[in-house]
Structure 1
Amino acid sequence: DEVGHFLFVLFIWQHCVLCMGELMDYQSDCYFLE
């Protein structure tokens, strides 16, 4: 659902910030690293 998708994206975004040390394009730089 929409809320679940939003929370998933937020989780990925937070993971990206924590792991990469900066905000990046999560679709190209973070999401596919999982």
Structure 2
Amino acid sequence: MSLISQISPYFWLLFSLAVAIAVFRELRRKDEQE
């Protein structure tokens, strides 16, 4: 359980970063279409 608690912060950091990149790419793609 302690191993998961140690990995969790890094997991959520990477997860939030991946979401931010995905949203950023979607916004750029919409700007290019207009």
Task: Please give the TM-score of this superposition, normalised by the length of structure 1.
Answer: 0.57
Unpaired runs of at least 5, structure 1: 22-34
Please tell me the root mean square deviation across aligned C-alpha atoms, in Å.
0.5
Name segments (4+ residues, structure 1) moved above 6 Å.
Answer: none
Identity percentage of aligned residues: 0
Name the structure where helix makes up a greater proportion of residues: 2
Equivalent pairs counted in the alignment come to 21
Unpaired runs of at least 5, structure 2: 1-8, 30-34
